[in-house]
Structures are given as C-alpha cells and as structure tokens.
Structure 1
Amino acid sequence: MRSTDRVHALPRILRPVWGLALAGVAGAMLVGCSTEEAICDSGEYPVMAVGGTGSACVSNGEKPLNGYVRYPKGKVPEHVDDKWDIYWDTHTVDKNGDIVDAPDA
C-alpha cells in the first residue's frame, strides 16, 4: 500500500482532521515554534547558586538574590537540557567568580 493510499483509506470523516493536523505541524515549523522548555519565563533571567548547582530566575531589572550570581557571559542556559544547562549540572562558580567543579558532581 502506497502512503497516498493510506490517506484515501481513512474514513471520510477523518480526512479533514488528518489535514488539519498536518497543517498545524507545518505551520508550527514555519513560524519557528519550539517545544523546548525555557529555563525562565519571559521578563526573567537565570541566576546560579554560588558554590552549588542550584539556580533561580530573577525579574529583569532586579539583582540576583543573596548567594546567587549571573551566569558567566556566553555560558547562560536558555532551555532545559541545552548545552549550558547540562554543563552547569557539574560545574559552579566559587566566591571569587571562578568556574570550578561542583562539589556534588
């Protein structure tokens, strides 16, 4: 059975649903929708715990909470499980701002 035969083999009632599903997927791909989960909500930026692997999100324009600092420039995680999110699971910054292995890694 050819792939085109499969579509025609669908009951007549399901053909519009199938078409809408395909159109939705194609539309999402065209506008660049992502299924990746963002580290922080819009209007926030991520911060990391000094000396540990904890993190938090802070509203734009506000300073990090005590014991937290901004991620080093160019090493900021943007999405869950992206390159930098995984990296910071085993690294942290010390009180001097140096990148070091996380104590629990």
Structure 2
Amino acid sequence: MQQTRRPRPFRPPAGETSTRPTALPALVAGSLAAALLLTGCMGQERVCGSGRYPVKAVGNTDGQDCVADGQEPPEGYVRYPAGMVPEHVGDKWDRHWGTIVVDAEGRPTQP
C-alpha cells in the first residue's frame, strides 16, 4: 500500500514574516460592502408594495392602508397631499403623518 504525503504547512524563513497573501478576509469584507451598497435602503421597508399607494385614515394618527394604483381610497381614508406621501416606514413623511389627524377632506384637525 502506498502512502500519500500530506503537504507541509507554509512556514516563512527564519526571521521573516509570512508573505502568504491573506486576501480571503478582504474579499469577504469587500463583497459585504458591495452588497450593502447595491441594496440601497438597507433596512427600509416600503410603506406599500409595487402597484399600490398609501392612504391616511380619517380621524386618528396611526391609521394607514394601501390601495391599488388607479383605485380611489375606501371610505374613511384620504390620499396624502402630493409631495408629502410616505414611501418608507419611518421616513420623514411617515413620521410627520403619524402625528397628524385629518378630516374627510384630508385637512389637518385637532386630535
């Protein structure tokens, strides 16, 4: 039976430090950074999915729903004003409208 020899571990010459490249950690870190950049809004959940838009509930601060594009909001909901529509959970307009109560016309009222 023939024995196979195992490769010996790399050892630098006496007095020298290792010159063996250690690219794997750098490659992993670079890949992770690229993935985070490519995903854009990492951790930001959209208020509504594709083909839907958000609507505000009348009479309270936290009511919100999503309606299919091309459809009117159901009774008890109004559209957000143009340019003030929340897109991501926790964005500027999502936080703003979470403190506002609106009437059936979409006008802010006292809570």
Which TM-score applies when normalising by structure 2?
0.67
How many Å separate the matches in 2 of 1:99 and 1:85? 15
Structure 1 position 74 matched with structure 2 position 83: yes
- Letter paired with 2:68: S
Q: Distance in 2 between matches of 1:43 and 1:17?
A: 41
1:26 is aligned to 34
Give the match for residue 57 of structure 1. Answer: 66
- If the length of structure 1 is used for normalisation, what is the TM-score? 0.70
Gaps of 5+ in 1: 1-7
1:46 equivalent in structure 2: 54
Classify the secondary structure of the residue corresponding to 1:86.
helix
Deviations 1:3-48 (A, max 9, x none): xxxxx9xxx6xx536513422422542x462211110111110001
What are structure 2's unaligned runs of at least 5 residues?
1-17
Looking at secondary structure, tell me which structure has more helix per residue: 1
In the alignment, what sits opposite 2:14? none
Say how many residue pairs are matched. 89
